[in-house]
Structure 1
Amino acid sequence: MKIDVLTLFPEMFDGVFNSSILKKAKEAEKVSYNIVNFRDYSDNKHQSVDDYPYGGGAGMVLKPQPIFDAVSDLKGKGSASPRVILMCPQGERYSQKKAEELAKDDHLIFICGHYEGYDERIREHLVTDEISIGDYVLTGGELGSMVVIDSVVRLLPGVLGKVASHENDSFSTGLLEHPHYTRPADFRGMKVPDTLLSGNHAYIEEWREKESLRRTLKRRPDLLENYLLTDKQKKMLEELKKTID
């Protein structure tokens, strides 16, 4: 996968793309990162990328020319039809489902804005996806794009050690993930559930399934509204509802 990021602050990405899984994915040639300062594409001598909004108002608006020219150049160096993603608080609320969708593409271009907003023609004629990572406003789109890129890259084949490492993640199955424990079995009087020490794999899987339902019911019951429960899970859920306030 090829990932291009248009930003006015390329230095923000140095640590993120050169650490942990994102670094390993790059070294394994599963992904390439290209950070572009779109100020370099400005066609005026001052290299300005923003201007006052028509009609007046506070703040500055990003001009279309530098971003259109940057995206056109990147298309010529990669895919002719990449996903062009605008990081924007007005965009689609980001989800694991969206991460899985983006992970199937081979070329993503992220546009990270600053200032008051974007010229609307960028949104209408250039962008394929608008994404928001939550109902709050950040200084710019950089942090949001890092979140999206991290969640996408880890899904690429061969990036994580085991496929199951992400297949059972919270939200990947539609439910929150079950609790995890490791050694020692007894830490300062706090013990690992006996089921996990039993060696009975069928029993363990049933415990994990039930705990996943319990955690989802308690913390994110809204996820259950659109989740297709099996008959077995329906029975588990009815039992759990009697034990959860």
Structure 2
Amino acid sequence: MAGGHMKYRHLSRSSSHRQALLRNLVTSLFKQESITTTWHKAKEAQRLAEKLVTLGKKNTEATRRRAHQIFFEPNELVPKLFGPIRERYLERPGGYTRVLRIEPTKEDQAESAILELVDGPKDMRFAMTAKTLSNLPETTRMNELTAKNVKKVTQFRQDGVEHLRNMVEKMREGKKKRWDTRTLLGPRRVYLLEERQVRDRHLPEPVNDGELPNPVKMLHGGVLQKGTKIWNVRDIVERQKNKSKEGARLEAEKAQKKQQKQPKALQSA
């Protein structure tokens, strides 16, 4: 609607809570230069971070006061914003931050993302481009897509080509030392407390329908262990039954022999 307010994500919070959340995210972003959060929070914090970089590029007394109002740690971050970060993005017309989707990191499987400052020491796209170039043979010419990515990560970065070349050489040396032959981790367990919750509720343990859920004592002696296949129970019972019969027969023969020897001993006495 004409004249209406610009839409934004409420993030299921009140206005004051939402502003405090975004200020906290932006403070962590400019302090660490890369943070991990949900995708929706990252997109909203990205808007505020872009405005802060614009304030830093203007570098006036009014913009400094406004930055002091936004940061939770202004004494530490305002000099950084109007110093190194302003110099880094002085020639860049826009696009000071980047949001990269990643696998869910929250227990509720919420969409997660990485929010980072571009052309910084933790620029992930710069590192991924360097790794792609390090995997190519030195005599092989890069394709069009790789060349486009190289231009993106080095266009506004100071001495970007030189930094990229150094990182590629470093990765190639590490590859010769087999630093990247690591075994990949298995799938991440998100619900870490699930087993404890099931145990606290005293729910029955899940069992296979084709296995015995509990140990069973047999009439002819012996115990069928938990997990025994049901289709093997009859054979096990028959073997135990025959074994008990054979044992009883041997006991009877031994007792009979003992009785036959006893009268002879008495007669000799």
Superposition TM-score, scaled by structure 1 size? 0.27
Structure with the higher fraction of residues in strand conformation: 1
Structure with the higher fraction of residues in helix conformation: 2
Larger Cα Rg: Structure 1 or Structure 2?
2
Highest relative contact order (Cα 8 Å, sep 6+), 1 or 2? 1
